[in-house]
Chain A
Amino acid sequence: MLIGISLISFFIMHLAPGDITSSEAAFNPKASEESRQKLRELYNLDKPVITQYGLWLKRMVELDFGNSFASHQRPVLWETKDSKGNVIKGLIQESLPITLLINLIGIFLIFSVSIVLGTISAVKQNSIVDKSITFFIFVAFAIPGFWLALLLMYWTGVVNQWLPISGLHSLDYKSFSEIGQFFDLLKHLILPVSISMLSGLAGISLYVRNGMLDVLHQDFITTARSKGLNEKNVIFTHALKNAILPLITIVGLSIPGLIGGSVIAESIFAIPGMGKLFYDSVLMRDFPVIMGILTIGSVLTLIGTLIADIGYAWADPRIRKGLVK
């Protein structure tokens, strides 16, 4: 699986025309063919593709994703010490935690809100509340996140100046106390997090609603009702548990979408996360960074799926005790 991912991310980069030397040459018209050849040798670009893949794979196993072509040759993944003993931080090392932070808050909020929305919607099926929630879900599905981001930026940032519209920290944040810094960060996160959670929110609310409707029509719910349990008890202890169990799998599946979506949110709000790093590297044709992020992004997805599978097995006693597969 991992090898497949590495193959795809490697070969896509090499099927594409144009290499680093052509963009280097474009910036610097004096670059001769000779110096371009030197550059190619430096990055092993003159070797056959298979050899390049082999070399890259070998370094990847050692978690060495190489150095960025641009950005002063900073290491792609993790910090290294240069000859003078200065620590140079890796690009992904710096940006990944930011993206993870945004997405984890996002996932947490998505689940809290959508379980509530979905449950209300299912319990009050066909009522006005249900219809307006369903309508909201459809709109949230269709709304382009970057557009909403623009409008929110305009409304909260430009017209009313309630919220900061770019970056992670205020210019003078170093002068704040620790609590002040925390709230400053929180304020900067509100817009990006709400944008990145929107489509996930819609999808999962719909999922909870449909799951809940399914469960509510099953026999054991009728049994629970007919033995005189009050409605609250039926819904919260009997129905909800069963309806939200499959959600654990959905977390795993929603990770690639969330990470991919961070490109747009982070570029708009100028947040130095992995999405923005990726966008910048794409514009600069920075092979090592692009390949590194593609690989790390996929590995994150695999880890997410794995955690989801384990979580599912842990939450469902039938699987935990090996009664069903």
Chain B
Amino acid sequence: MNLFKGNLLAIIGFIIISIILFVAIFAAFLSPYDPNYIDINSILLPPSYDHLMGTDGLGRDVLSRMLYGARISLFVGFVAVGIATLIGIFLGSIAGFYGGWIDSIIMRLVDIMLSIPSFFLILAVIAFLTPSIWNIMIVIGLTSWMGVTRLVRAEFLSLRQRDFVLASIVMGSSNKKVITKHLLPNSLTPIIVSSVLGIASAVLIESGLSFLGLGVQAPTASWGNILTDGKEYIQFAWWLSLFPGLAILVTVLGYNLLGEGLRDVLDPKNK
């Protein structure tokens, strides 16, 4: 916590994310009901002591589904961003270190990917593969690596000119060693910050896809597909729409605050 000293927003973000992590990990212990248990005697009940967030159109407990939905959101966020970051680091390192034609090819690829509306691309691919949580994570990962690539490349380009890197090259270190020992560790800060911010947008994309019915499939609960039910019953059951949306909002807000806070904290210029 000392890390964030004096940075209130970052602390708030950190707390939010910790709570959601906790909830997601212990969903099985915290949820009062089985999230997929269908009870036709308690359809569309408003929030009450028995069902704190009410029940959905099949009589399932919304709170329990929300808790399990937290798992999906986090999981998709982490894995998708993990994939994107690995691709980004790999391509960015090559482009930034070797330069030349290989750099132009990679950067061209980045430009092309950036000019295709990414939500269209994701939707198209998802619809042709069968929508499933794994496919979503992979597709989101494969369509969001461009930012990291640019970042890593830019860092490498500037670091390459620095004396300690030149010294290492002159002393005969292999390219691999220069990249992994000197260049990468010194570019970590922006990579971490952009990853945290990336999780936020991955969570948003996943919930949007699930909302459109092209994401996580029923009966698995995700915040996005609870909202789909919410749309269905919007005239009778406001609780089905309100809670999952709030959860997404708070989660994304948490990651954004944390990411911006980390940027301030980790940037030596601000010290």
Contacts and interface: CB of A to CB of B under 8 A. Distances in A.
B128 A13 contact: yes
B116 A139 contact: no
Contacts of B121: 8, 12, 294
A278 B248 contact: no
B120 interface: yes
Contact of A259 (B117, B127, B250): B117
A4 interface: yes
B128 A285 contact: yes
Given A9-B116, A158-B235, A301-B117, A16 B249 contact: no
Given A142-B252, A282-B214, A290 B241 contact: no
B241 A144 contact: no
B interface majority secondary structure: helix
B226 to A, nearest CB: 11
Contact of A141 (B231, B234, B242, B256): B256
Given A12-B121, A147-B245, A260-B120, A283 B127 contact: yes
A132 to B, nearest CB: 14
Given A158-B235, A264-B212, A138 B257 contact: yes
Nearest to A282: B127
B238 interface: yes
B128 A260 contact: no
9 contacts: A1-B111, A8-B113, A18-B128, A141-B200, A141-B252, A146-B208, A150-B234, A256-B115, A298-B117
Interface of B: 108-109, 111-121, 123-125, 127-129, 200, 204, 207-208, 211-212, 214, 227, 230-231, 234-235, 238, 241-242, 244-245, 248-253, 256-257
Given A13-B124, A150-B234, A268-B231, 15 more contacts: A1-B111, A4-B112, A138-B257, A142-B252, A143-B252, A144-B249, A144-B252, A148-B245, A256-B117, A279-B212, A285-B127, A293-B120, A294-B116, A298-B116, A298-B117
